[in-house]
């Protein structure tokens, strides 16, 4: 890169001014001392000034100085623009480096998404999964308890129905036995009444018989009946009556014994039937009492199971509502995280687009910098060739001046 300093340019301007003044005098020594030296200095500083001196006034020295000033201004402008472009390039390189680091980090996070600050989420997810497993096991236990309660309730219902059918059968048997007992009681009462009537008849018959017998005896003892019958002689009437009385008493005793035996048999049968009915009634009463006690215990157990079922159903409903609410909250959190992830993706896409834009700007700046470098390299080569030609011409001019002296 070629640049011109202010000191060299000032010295060149001063020497050019001295040369013009000495040229106006006409002394050779001043020409050699001022014009020759100043011409060499100008040829070293700029190609245009040397060319102006050799040409013998084809363009003035002021024009050469203006050309030098324009070149200096242009070079300073180019230098400032180059410095600004270099600063921009440095800033763009730093920005590019940051974007590359961000892209690399994003690619690494995209390849391994679990490493993106997922420790807290993993802990929360593990906790929620454990709670869900516990709730699932609890629900399974509740379902099992409900099924067991249903089976127990069905079993109790079947037992209740069977006991109820048995109770109805026992009630029907008891009602039949009560009817039989009532009938037997009526029959016993009728038999007792019949026995009493027979006893009264027997007593009445005995009294009548005694009265008749006494009347006959009195009649026979008080009266004397003489009957003459032309018949075979008969036995004594007393003996006959005694024999008839004996026969009658034998028949009455026999009838009495038969009646007493029949009454005893009937009484024993009735007592046996009543005793059996009483035993059956007592056993039926005890069975009825036992059935009632079982029915009450089954009723109590059924009410307890129904209350347990109702409480378990309420607990299950509360558990389902609780975990439904928690699942809804977790779903809302997942939705918010998905929205946040979508926002991050959109931001990354926007940053990628900005990176591509900056990369395009960098490419164009690099092209412009290359173009400026190429232009600067071309101007440097042209300035070096012009300086060589100026030196050769100054040497020829000095030789000619020495020869003329």
Strand stretches in 284-377, DSSP E = none
Domain boundaries, the chain: 119-221+235-345
Other CB atoms within 10 Å distance of the CB of residue 221: 8
Closest CA to 56 of 19, 96, 107, 7: 19
Give me the pLDDT at residue 268, please: 84
Percent of the chain at pLDDT exceeding 90: 0
Specify whether the CB–CB gap between 219 and 241 falls below 8 A.
no
pTM of the model: 0.29
Q: Over the stretch 292-330, which tens digit does the pLDDT of each residue have?
A: 888 888 888 888 888 888 888 888 888 888 888 888 888
Q: Over the stretch 63-90, which tens digit does the pLDDT of each residue have?
A: 555 666 787 788 888 888 888 888 888 8
Asked whether residue 136 carries a pLDDT value surpassing 50, the answer given is: yes
For residues 310 and 308, give the distance between their C-alpha atoms in angstroms, rounded to a whole number: 5
Helix (H) or strand (E) holding 333: helix 237-404
- Per DSSP, helices labelled H in 28-118 are 28-30, 37-45, 47-54, 61-111
> pLDDT: is 228 or 165 the higher one?
165
Other CB atoms within 10 Å distance of the CB of residue 129: 10
Structure tokens at 331: 């779903």
Structure tokens at 244: 């008839």
Q: Return the exposure string of 193-220: e unless at least 16 CB atoms fall within 10 Å of the residue's CB, then b.
A: eebeeeeeeeeeeeeeeeeeeeeeeeee
Instruction: Share the mean pLDDT of the chain.
Output: 73
Give me the pLDDT at residue 236, please: 63
Asked whether residue 22 carries a pLDDT value surpassing 80, the answer given is: no
Q: Over the stretch 242-271, which tens digit does the pLDDT of each residue have?
A: 788 788 788 888 888 888 888 888 778 877
């Amino acid at each position: 890169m070629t640049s011109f300093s202010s000191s060299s340019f000032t010295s060149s301007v001063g020497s050019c001014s001295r040369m013009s003044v000495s040229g106006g005098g006409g002394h050779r020594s001043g020409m050699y001392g001022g014009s020759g030296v100043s011409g060499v200095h100008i040829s070293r500083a700029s190609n245009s000034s040397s060319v102006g001196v050799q040409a013998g006034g084809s363009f003035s020295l002021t024009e050469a100085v203006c050309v030098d000033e324009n070149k200096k201004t242009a070079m300073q402008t180019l230098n400032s623009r180059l410095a600004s472009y270099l600063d921009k390039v440095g800033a763009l390189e730093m920005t590019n480096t940051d974007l590359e680091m961000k892209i690399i980090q994003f690619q690494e996070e995209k390849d391994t998404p679990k490493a993106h600050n997922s420790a807290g989420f993993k802990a929360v997810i593990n906790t929620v999964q454990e709670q869900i497993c516990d709730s699932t096991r609890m629900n399974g236990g509740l379902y099992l308890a409900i099924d067991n309660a249903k089976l127990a309730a069905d079993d109790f219902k079947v037992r209740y129905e069977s006991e109820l059918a048995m109770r109805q059968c026992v009630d029907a048997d008891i009602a039949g036995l009560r009817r039989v007992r009532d009938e037997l009681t009526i029959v016993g009462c009728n038999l007792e009444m019949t026995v009493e009537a027979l006893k009264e008849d027997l007593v009445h018959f005995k009294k009548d018989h005694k009265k008749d017998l006494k009347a006959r005896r009195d009649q026979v003892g008080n009266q004397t009946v003489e009957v003459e019958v032309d018949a075979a002689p008969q036995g004594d009437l007393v003996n006959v009556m005694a024999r008839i009385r004996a026969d009658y008493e034998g028949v009455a005793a026999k009838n009495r014994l038969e009646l007493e035996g029949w009454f005893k048999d009937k009484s024993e049968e009735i007592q046996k039937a009543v005793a059996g009915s009483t035993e059956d009634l007592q056993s039926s009463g005890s069975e009825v009492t036992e059935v009632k006690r079982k029915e009450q215990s089954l009723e109590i157990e059924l009410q307890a199971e129904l209350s347990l079922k109702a409480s378990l159903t309420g607990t299950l409903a509360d558990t389902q509502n609780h975990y439904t609410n928690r699942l809804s909250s977790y779903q809302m959190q997942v939705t918010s995280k998905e929205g946040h992830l979508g926002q991050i993706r959109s931001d990354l896409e926007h940053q990628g687009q900005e990176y591509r834009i900056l990369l395009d700007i960098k490419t164009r700046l690099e092209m412009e910098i290359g173009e400026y470098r190429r232009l600067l390299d071309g101007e440097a080569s042209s300035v070096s060739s012009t300086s060589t030609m100026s030196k050769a011409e100054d040497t020829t001019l000095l030789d000619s001046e020495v020869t003329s002296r």
